[in-house]
Amino acid sequence: MFEHELMAGKNVHLTEIDPETDAMVEAAWTQDPVYRLLMEYDKPRGWTADELKKYYEAHLKDSDEHRNEFHFGVRANTDNRLVGIFTIPGVEWSNRSMKFHIGFGHVNDLQNWGTEAFRLGLNYIFGELNIYLAAMHVPQFCREMVEVVEEEGMQLTARRREAVFYNGRYWAELVFCIQHPIWMARRTGVAE
């Protein structure tokens, strides 16, 4: 069904965000502080569906006008259910670098489809946008996401000590990066 599409894998595919329906689903996810930290939302509380709808409407309009931010839903191929969000909040075109976020509504979805969704996101970043350097910030305590990030070849490049407050204590924020030549070598199976 989706095998030959750029943004589709065996189990999941990336789609445009639908502010009307996706905001309702994601609003429930934002009640989880881990999800909010992964997505780096600036509110210290969960978002309402209306707040997310307005956020996406404004950001999708800006994306259409300036082409420097991108937002996608991660959907299961079997039922087209929204299982995660992949977003690029800003591209530094002059440097060919950017930071991205990927978050899942449930840890099971991350464990089941995180690697494939992550791979699709990197394919878009490097294959479609032609970015040289991609970075992602992950709270140290989120071991499942750290495993997915490392499995896809991203390397720990910085550790911001005690930058994330969660569950009564401060944790490090881990900064992972991958460069286009490393992604290409992993994709083609050629050693760097």
Name which of 164, 174, 26 is nearest 87 in CA terms.
Answer: 26
Looking up residue 51, the CATH number of its domain turns out to be 3.40.630.30
Query: pLDDT class for 170, splitting at 50, 70, 90?
Result: very high
Four-CA torsion 135, 139, 142, 148, nearest 10 degrees: 10
pTM of the model: 0.90
Distance of alpha carbon 73 from alpha carbon 63, whole angstroms:
15
Whether 3 maps to a domain, the answer reads no
For residue 164, pLDDT beyond 70: yes
Type of residue numbered 133: L
Tokens representing 40? 């780096």
- pLDDT at position 6 is 65
In a domain, 154, yes or no: yes
Establish if 67 belongs to a structural domain. yes
Domain extent, residue 47, equals: 12-188
Asked whether residue 2 is assigned to any structural domain, the reply reads no
What pLDDT score was predicted for residue 191?
A: 56
122 is a domain residue = yes
Confidence check: pLDDT of 58 > 80 = yes
Average pLDDT of span 28-44: 88
Kindly state whether residue 6 falls inside one of the protein's structural domains: no
**Residue written as tokens 């030549």?**
181
149: in domain: yes
- Residue 183, domain member (yes or no): yes
| Total number of domains constituting the chain | 1
